[in-house]
Amino acid sequence: MKNRWIVPIAFLPLLGLVPMQAAGMEGTVMTTACLQPGAAAEKLLSPDGRICLTYSEVQGNGISFNLSYTGKQGQTEVMTLPYTGMQTRKGRGAGLRLERVDKPVHISENYTMLTGKRKVCSNEAEEYLFHFTDSLGKPFDMRVRLYDDGIAFRYELSGLDKDTPASELTTYRIAEGTRRWMQKFNLSYEDFFPMSETGEGENRHWGYPALIQAGEDVWALLSEADIDRMQSASSLMNDVLATDYRVVPAENDREITGDWHTPWRVAIVGSLKDVTESTLVTDVSRPSRLKDTSWIRPGSVSWIYWAYNRGSRDYQLVKQYIDMAAELKLPYVLIDWEWDIMGNGGTIEDALKYAAERNVHTLLWYNSSTAWTTNGAGGPLFKLNAPENREKEFAWLEEHGVAGVKIDFFEGDTEPTMEYCQDLLESAARHKLMVNFHGATIPRGWQRTYPNLMSVEAVYGAEWYNNAPVLTDKAAAHNATLPFTRNVVGPMDYTPCTFSDSQHPHITSHAHELALPVVFESGLQHWADKPESYLAQPEAVKTFMGQLPVAWDETRLVSGYPGDHVIMARRSGKQWYVGALNGKDTACSFQMDWSFLKEGRYRLTLFEDSGDKASPWKITEVTVDKGSLPGTLDGQPRGGFVAVVQPE
């Protein structure tokens, strides 16, 4: 992927554009009145008044913002945005002069999700439209929304004539000494989120999301949302000033005629609980484009690759994972790469038939054939690139009862790649196929627009036990960081919960591993260990695996701090699942807050670490009143627990 920039202060290529459509909103009231630039217009507030944007004009160059939040400790300055705006190759957007700001439009919206943190999502916002004139005398608009849990803004241009985005000025200024958890940019978004208090250092290119602790309990998470056609995704660079993180869109050479806008630039703001539970990324994304979603069924999946560091060319081994799925009552099996050259007693058609006979639904792997296509690249290759080939292949899958596809090894964040991903999602939906993107960019709201998108990798996950020894010592802290960073913005295919070892050992405890598919959210949850490892576990553990939901009615952060620990509670129906991770190499005491439960009696099943390697489980089943639920639970080094709480 190429990035290009014009040196003065913050210009880098915007590459991705879309016919201008606002995200669908219900209950919006429009007004034609406007606020004139000046004192009365300088302060913008969220509906609850806690988030404040103060703006001022930058001479001949648009406006700057100051973002603050009022929490338990009073008002905290979160960050400044010293520069905003963007330019095209033909000079649109240069020399912006603010003409007026429309009075706020109130947004009130409710929508449902098939996957994610909660089934029913609701949001309130105040939307302000800034009208500028550029140096060419052309209009340039900036749409700004203040939600109760963050801000979102985008740039809108009309009447483009074979023009192309050239650079973006948007800059987030993060003061030195501010704690931040940021990932070095790479095309697969597979790296750690180490804590730092400085922007200095060798690396100056960062991927989304970026977590910032602005105050004792004031946080912000930077990302973007609603990538449409003719748009690229972006990343952050602080190569000019260490404090100034510029939005850097990926390559886009598409000529645009007509109206166009950027994706939403998003900052989720509030307490750590607010940030973790936020649905702002989907709130600003377009509504579902699928009329019929009855065929989309989230669920757990048995997966072959992790345990053997190989694909699915061995029919006999594939049968073992189908049998495991059937025995554990997992609805799906993923038949991974190399299924097109399957042998040892059977072909892919035999495997599909074998799975169907055992009432196990199949998912099949494909190479996107845009990045790794030589030097040992796995197949099937070049099946999905041309529209006619893609339709033929997906029709074959539909005919054979395949439930979904995992598509791997994408080229990055460029506009052609973003368009290809949307082509894949739309074509898959026509053939009733769920989709899991691997080796791909992070979710940016497509899980709402295309609800057949069930999961995305874009994470340094358990697969890395195959590749390098690095994860062994870092996994516990990394796992306790992901709920506050990567998993906030969308589903995450980490491939959690393994009790044996792959090519490199893991030293997280059994209870820590069992908690991962509760703490981590994904519409398809892949169970990656060897069949004999899972089937050797106590009956209560195996029952838990078969019954664990992967789509949730409600999500609550009970407690946590990045890298230290996390306690996450998720509800499905009347049943709550609580997962806890200790990110430290020393023992801890988990402090429980059961306030998310109603008063009453509950049946509690508790999975803890025994501390005995020979007999690692401590499993407790009791019925108690809410007030008698444990207030503290002991955590082993790199340990955890799972609690299943069912009302009597």
The amino acid at residue 491 is P
Alpha-carbon distances of 551 from 440, 445, 522, 525, 572, rounded to whole Å = 22, 16, 8, 10, 7
Q: How far apart are CA 609 and CA 450, in angstroms?
A: 40
Q: How far apart are CA 537 and CA 535, in angstroms?
A: 5
Angle, alpha carbons 78-269-204 (nearest 5°) = 60
Element (H, E) at 422: helix 415-430
DSSP string, 315-356: HHHHHHHHHHHHHHT-SEEEE-TTGGG-BSS--HHHHHHHHH
- Please list the alpha-helical segments (H only) found in 438-553: 446-449, 470-479, 510-519, 531-535, 539-547
| Options 168, 228, 415, 463, the catalytic residue | 463
Residue 558: name the closest of 458, 630, 636 by CA: 630
The amino acid at residue 111 is Y
Residue 371: name the closest of 308, 441, 310, 427 by CA: 441
Angle, alpha carbons 486-491-497 (nearest 5°) = 85
Whether 519 contacts 508, CB under 8 Å: no
DSSP string, 169-233: --EEE--TT-EEEEEE--TT--S---EES-S-SS--EEEEEEEEEEETTEEEEEEEE---TT---
| Polymer length in residues for the chain | 648
Element (H, E) at 492: none
Angle at which helix 470-479 crosses helix 510-519, to 10 degrees, equals 50
Whether 9 contacts 20, CB under 8 Å: no
Task: Identify any residues that bridge with 414 across adjacent strands, giving them in sequence order.
Answer: none
Q: How far apart are CA 185 and CA 1, in angstroms?
A: 12
- C-beta neighbour count of 39 within 10 angstroms: 7
- Three-state DSSP state, 500: coil
Catalytic annotation present for 457 = no
Q: How far apart are CA 367 and CA 360, in angstroms?
A: 23
| Options 102, 323, 408, 413, the catalytic residue | 408
Catalytic annotation present for 408 = yes
Q: Which residue has the tokens 């290119």?
A: 205
Q: What does the radius of gyration of the chain's CA atoms come to, in whole angstroms?
A: 25
- Cis peptide bond prior to 209, omega within 30° of 0: yes
DSSP string, 293-312: -TT---EEEEESHHHHTS-S
The per-residue b/e assignment along 545-579, b for 16 or more CB within 10 angstroms, e otherwise, is beebbbbbbebbbbbbebbebbbbbbbbeebbbbb
How many Cα atoms occupy the beta-carbon half-sphere of 86 within 13 Å?
A: 29
Catalytic residue numbers read 408, 463
